[in-house]
Structure 1
């Protein structure tokens, strides 16, 4: 019974396209672990084993974030599953497909204080798209057919918009050893599930075209755009003469188009009171929640009509500013919508502002690197083959502010729940089939997921990690509590960690970069394994550094416009 049951589960996943699995090892998951190991030996899947459940979950998240194909995540019974929780929360909000398969004690060992037994029923609550309790292994054919169907249906459900994690809970009785090797039924039924197709009819398209005609419009391109959606958006914007305010996670930055605007965060921070010429009549929002908080106030204070392309139909507009929400992807919307006529001067004004910002967004003249210079060095050295993973807190904000790459980058960030947990593990998951992955993180996020470095050591993954070491939580210096009594104790939280010793612990190559020249040299060199680049910065100078950029921008705009 057990052997057949495991074969049905794993073969069902293979039939739907499973490529990668991550195991956090334990006793109750023995039959699945051995079956997955067999599939890895037969080169049918890639298998990764991580003894730290929290790291394992973020590692799986990284793989799924890069491939957009569900990754199987397996653990034993008890508190092991609880350590998956942060990554599952991120996957739910970011719409990343995961199959979370927790193994469990059988019903007769629940709620009677049996060892390593907790209530795993709907364990992740609303943080998963669905929960299914799988049946115990049985000889009954109806049970086998049900297992086959529900496994394949769950895989497809994880990918269906809105994508997200599916939780399967599998109880097992002892003995836990299947008969090996597993034999898979070549005639096991494969199910085909047709995706939902949204409709953008001609009548609505024509109505919107007429509404947008001869209006000053902008497109806010948020995170997680598709390549084809970006292409259609750029084509429409070029023909219509509309600027695109490109979030760094839209993956539009670096593309060859004068319609792309990257300076919006700095522009909004200097205030638009004297820049009425840039106020739009129409705003089209695409993608998920943008990085720049300044856009929230912009939308709230705007008198423009705001159209939100809510592809996942989950009303995820935390600004609460959308006048119209359309259940459409960027690809469908901009492919069907006819270009509109717009004054030639509208786009030119935005291009002028972008040109002014580009002229001042230069590396500092002083010898020592600062945190904005690190982002500029990345923009000047990385190329379209690069995967850039950016930590939350200050790194992603700095990337949003000053990243102007010369070619488009594959940029990732855990912007669903916006936490600093699992940063290293997620980046390593993204790196598994790449030789050109870069992680930009701060010292606190680096310390928080230090265990994740073991996966790089174990699987010989190739990644460069830039650790901006300002000895504490830099973002709090920008918040109202900055300068308050006991600020350093409860917010600054200096750790005084020795990055070089951590590198030694995980057999990583360690480098110290204090100049722009040194950092660029390190970034241009081939990535041969795990490399950690420490960039020491001064946390106390961070606020003034960024204020100086804004003030310089303001002066140049006042002078030239």
Structure 2
């Protein structure tokens, strides 16, 4: 067996032993040894392989698979510029704590810095965005057992590091794999990794786990508000359970894992100064990374509020530099005064009634109505992936938090790139072969987010097609800017060109050209019918940028009036 084939087969065998069940490949020549080994593993029923022709799409597909499964997912590229296309997904995996494994094939060291074809400086390519980066070294002939031990221990360590099993800090890992020719197996090669394959019984070379951190003894001030942002869903759920037992209100972002226990429209509540002045918490317990709401950020920067941060890893969020304590979730203590949580719930109900009154009076579907009604309409067990621009904020402000959904979003660095591919990957994990439609996948993403990752709609021959319905509010461009400072009248002269960015495309025709059934809906009844049709499917709802900005102002005014009246 030639050395390149030996490394590839040992690597893939140890990945499977370490818990990998999905892998993604973008085609190339230098990566051929690993690509063939992955294909062999799929034929043997050991993992599911996904192939995409574009490396950026492949990387975000792997990100979605890893986010939904909680398992490390490798994405394989050839050498050269192909490796650079993984960087955006690596950055998102870093900030969001997703166990992504970047496998980059490379030319051998003697070809670096020589002008050789398709050769760049790949070691260290992703800088500090990865938890670990290893330039594996060129495999050599005649060193089977020694190399086997090195390769297996290396892969096992990479998987443990990506999962955060020893540090509590999951994230991406980069293995750079230089190969010399021959790259393809010889005819005499058999599909085996040798008698020195590894631990008996299919066990990984190395296993490990992180111990549970100690927790402080007291629960702290009774007037506590729990704010939960993007982070490990299990931690978010644990925070919501603790808050329910303590009588603390929760303001949780939709992808946090704690959303079902949140008050509705927490960002709207916190945006009413008069109400907040009378109900300001003594302490805010921050779990995850809150990134959606300026009112939440202002609260965390308030010097009158004690901010404590729950860290699920060596890193913790503190954008306002206001955290006074970092640690684990506090131990339960004496429950708070029931009136504390009741006041927040009562206020949220009043704001919700006001919001519904505004939305129900609108003559047509808008992005706000769509966000609220989509959440209500989804079946229990469904997946909902939210785009990182207006959609996730609309759901956060306007939808009624509910249980029974898995909600995901790329909020690590909050980019819009790769969202279609992330949603496809998450849907493939969430509903594999579900014949009853109980675990269907849905995504709500803006038109520019949709167009930014059209390549993600390309599902090649023989690849599994996701049960995924992409719902796209189409305001013909960058509508979120109409709700921010660039949308103010004094910037009108340059708004359309550099912020509004109208694309003028028929998104139904665009989706159909890439093989996805698509339709445009204009009514709530049409939306319900489209959501029930099953995926893959694209559902487009036309909206208006300026009207949405005016609606956002109206909703804030309605929330203020509802609380002032109470």
* TM-score normalised by the chain length of structure 2: 0.91
Offset at residue 491 of structure 1 (A): 0.9
Counterpart Cα distance in 2 of 1:551 and 1:512 = 31
Offset at residue 472 of structure 1 (A): 0.8
Equivalent position SS for 1:411: strand
Equivalent position SS for 1:316: coil
Equivalent position SS for 1:3: helix
> Does the alignment pair 1:175 with 2:182?
yes
Q: Pick one of 391, 398, 407 that aligns with 2:394.
A: 398
Contact 1:239 1:339 in 2 (8 A): no
Counterpart Cα distance in 1 of 2:78 and 2:497 = 38
Give deviations 1:222-261, integer Å, cap 9, x for gaps: 223434x455434432332211112111233345xxxx31
Give deviations 1:118-158, integer Å, cap 9, x for gaps: 11111111111111011212222323311111111111110
Partner of 1:279 in structure 2?
A: 280
User: For this pair of structures, how many residues does the alignment match?
Assistant: 538
Partner of 2:449 in structure 1?
A: 445
> Does the alignment pair 1:349 with 2:343?
yes
Contact 2:447 2:472 in 1 (8 A): yes
Q: Which moved more, 1:285-294 or 1:82-91?
A: 285-294
Give deviations 1:375-395, integer Å, cap 9, x for gaps: 111121113311111111111
Offset at residue 42 of structure 1 (A): 1.2
Offset at residue 365 of structure 1 (A): 2.4
Q: Pick one of 546, 551, 554 that aligns with 2:552.
A: 546
Give deviations 1:23-53, integer Å, cap 9, x for gaps: 0110001111111111111111100111111
Shift in CA distance, 235/22, structure 1 to aligned 2, threshold 3 Å: closer
> Does the alignment pair 1:510 with 2:487?
no
Unaligned residue ranges in structure 1 (runs of 5+)? none
Contact 1:387 1:410 in 2 (8 A): yes
Q: Which moved more, 1:43-52 or 1:500-509?
A: 500-509
Counterpart Cα distance in 2 of 1:150 and 1:290 = 35
Partner of 2:377 in structure 1?
A: 381
Offset at residue 276 of structure 1 (A): 3.0
Counterpart Cα distance in 2 of 1:222 and 1:536 = 30
> Does the alignment pair 1:188 with 2:198?
yes
Q: Which moved more, 1:189-198 or 1:145-154?
A: 189-198
Offset at residue 269 of structure 1 (A): 2.1
Shift in CA distance, 548/52, structure 1 to aligned 2, threshold 3 Å: same
> Does the alignment pair 1:249 with 2:255?
yes
Contact 1:222 1:250 in 2 (8 A): yes
Q: Which moved more, 1:509-518 or 1:423-432?
A: 509-518
Contact 1:377 1:520 in 2 (8 A): no
Counterpart Cα distance in 2 of 1:270 and 1:149 = 56
Equivalent position SS for 2:86: helix
Equivalent position SS for 1:285: strand
Equivalent position SS for 2:85: helix
Counterpart Cα distance in 1 of 2:232 and 2:210 = 19
Counterpart Cα distance in 1 of 2:225 and 2:476 = 40
Counterpart Cα distance in 2 of 1:241 and 1:263 = 19
Counterpart Cα distance in 1 of 2:116 and 2:241 = 62
Equivalent position SS for 2:486: coil
Counterpart Cα distance in 1 of 2:238 and 2:427 = 28
> Does the alignment pair 1:481 with 2:495?
no
Counterpart Cα distance in 2 of 1:231 and 1:508 = 35
Partner of 1:454 in structure 2?
A: 458
> Does the alignment pair 1:30 with 2:32?
yes
Shift in CA distance, 425/462, structure 1 to aligned 2, threshold 3 Å: same
Equivalent position SS for 1:407: coil
Contact 2:230 2:412 in 1 (8 A): no
Matches within 5 A, 1:493-504: 493-504=501-512
Shift in CA distance, 507/426, structure 1 to aligned 2, threshold 3 Å: same
Contact 1:22 1:60 in 2 (8 A): yes
Q: Which moved more, 1:65-74 or 1:188-197?
A: 188-197
Counterpart Cα distance in 2 of 1:85 and 1:394 = 24
> Does the alignment pair 1:151 with 2:155?
yes
Equivalent position SS for 1:131: strand
Q: Pick one of 9, 12, 15 that aligns with 1:10.
A: 12
Shift in CA distance, 364/442, structure 1 to aligned 2, threshold 3 Å: same
Counterpart Cα distance in 2 of 1:360 and 1:145 = 65
CA RMSD of aligned residues (A): 1.8
Counterpart Cα distance in 1 of 2:32 and 2:210 = 37
Contact 1:216 1:280 in 2 (8 A): yes
Counterpart Cα distance in 2 of 1:269 and 1:345 = 21
Counterpart Cα distance in 1 of 2:148 and 2:92 = 33
Counterpart Cα distance in 1 of 2:94 and 2:428 = 22
Give deviations 1:89-132, integer Å, cap 9, x for gaps: 10111110011110111111111101111111111111111110
Contact 1:247 1:262 in 2 (8 A): no
